[in-house]
Amino acid sequence: MHNDFNRPSPIIEILTSLENGDILHTTRDGINYLFVGISNCGHIIYTIGNEQKYLPILTVNKALEEFNSNKFIDANWYKKFNKHEYETRPCNLSVLKNLIKRI
């Protein structure tokens, strides 16, 4: 029987694989969303041009949980999970989807 008790959680694997400047998403216009780091309050920090954005790790954890339960992570999922976050930071959805692809 195989067990994964010593395997880090997927979110830890994702976060430890990220380096400052890694591209988290590229728009159709060629604009890169670049990883900056992790905030003290548990947000993934990234930039779009000169603007800093924050994606809560809680959102990433929930999306991974739902994804692992065969749920599709899209705008409808994001609105249901956190409508305010979806409306104020819609760019997070693209980053979120690309983070999930790293698993």
| pLDDT tens-place string over residues 17-66 | 889 999 999 999 999 999 999 998 888 999 999 999 999 989 998 999 99
Calculate mean pLDDT across residues 87-96.
91
CB-count burial class (<10 Å; 0-12, 13-18, 19+) for 4: exposed
CA gap 4, 16 in Å, rounded = 18
Please give the radius of gyration of the chain, using alpha carbons only, rounded to the nearest integer: 14
At 14, the pLDDT band (50, 70, 90 cuts) reads confident
pTM exceeds 0.85, yes or no: no
